[in-house]
Structure 1
Amino acid sequence: MDSRKTTQDSAEKQARKARLAEQLRANLQKRKAQARARRTGEADNRPEGIEAAKK
């Protein structure tokens, strides 16, 4: 029974880690877009994120 629980905990930790990593990437892209917009003085119309990171 303990091995089953540790497997489940491990899966939950991996899922949480992946979810947090995705949120971090999205936040970074948003901040980069904001910085570009401030630098040029206009809104940034580039697509969100990097294609390689979405795979």
Structure 2
Amino acid sequence: MNHQTSADDEKRARLAAALRENLKRRKAQARARRADEAPAQEPAPQTQADLNRS
């Protein structure tokens, strides 16, 4: 019985580590995507219609 519990604990630890690594990788990918998109998302210059609404 103890052997099974130990194996389950090891499996849980491996899965937890894999999930943490996956999350780190996904966060890094999301940060890279945001950094690539940031310059492309410059605010549009104000038009005369925008200025009239103020």
Task: Name structure 1 gaps, 5 residues minimum.
Answer: 42-55
Aligned pairs, number: 40
- 1:31 and 1:8 map into 2 onto residues whose CA distance is 34
Structure number with the higher helix fraction is 2
Residue 40 of structure 1: CA displacement? Answer: 2.0
Task: Name structure 2 gaps, 5 residues minimum.
Answer: 41-54
TM-score normalised by L of structure 2: 0.71
Query: Which structure would you say has the larger RCO, counting Cα contacts within 8 Å and 6 or more residues apart?
Result: 1
- 1:40 and 1:15 map into 2 onto residues whose CA distance is 39
Larger Rg: 2
Aligned residue in 2 for 1:37 = 36
Aligned residue in 1 for 2:6 = 7
TM-score normalised by L of structure 1: 0.70
Give me the CA root mean square deviation: 0.6
Displacement over 6 Å in runs of 4+: none
